[in-house]
Amino acid sequence: EVLLVQSGAELKKPGESLRLSCRGSGYTFTSHWINWVRQLPGKGLEWMGRIDPRDSYTNYAPSFQGHVVFSVDKSISTAYLQWSSLQASDTAIYYCARRGEPCGGQTCYYTFDYWGQGTVVTVSS
């Protein structure tokens, strides 16, 4: 069974650093990109970017470039999302999601086939 298990809820102060984790199991971790998705309180889903666990190559959505950092530790099948200085506006739920390639007929498509349970991050003074 494919599972993505994320770290627990966090309560932090503005200016503090934070690292969230997402551990994959039930599949070959290096075969699928890990994406990060933000959900602001009461709002929709925003794609933050992705990391390829094979080589740690990353792409960031413009809104998040320079504000967060993605990394992986292949030895423990875990991806990370990191901030060096949190802001109150970072208060949100953060999801990791696997890029899968399911097939319909003879064509396969990139999509987010498995998701972590989400991590609630609250940044408040």
Chain positions contacting other proteins, by CB under 8 A: 33, 35, 37, 44-47, 50, 59, 61, 95, 97, 102, 104-105, 107, 109-113, 115-118
Q: Which is nearer to other proteins, 104 or 125 (CB)?
A: 104
- CB 121 → other proteins: shortest distance, Å? 15
**What totals of helices (H) and strands (E) does the chain contain, helices first?**
0, 13
Is 69 in a helix, a strand, or coil?
A: strand
- CB 116 → other proteins: shortest distance, Å? 7
Smallest Cα–Cα separation from 95: which of 70, 73, 122, 120? 120
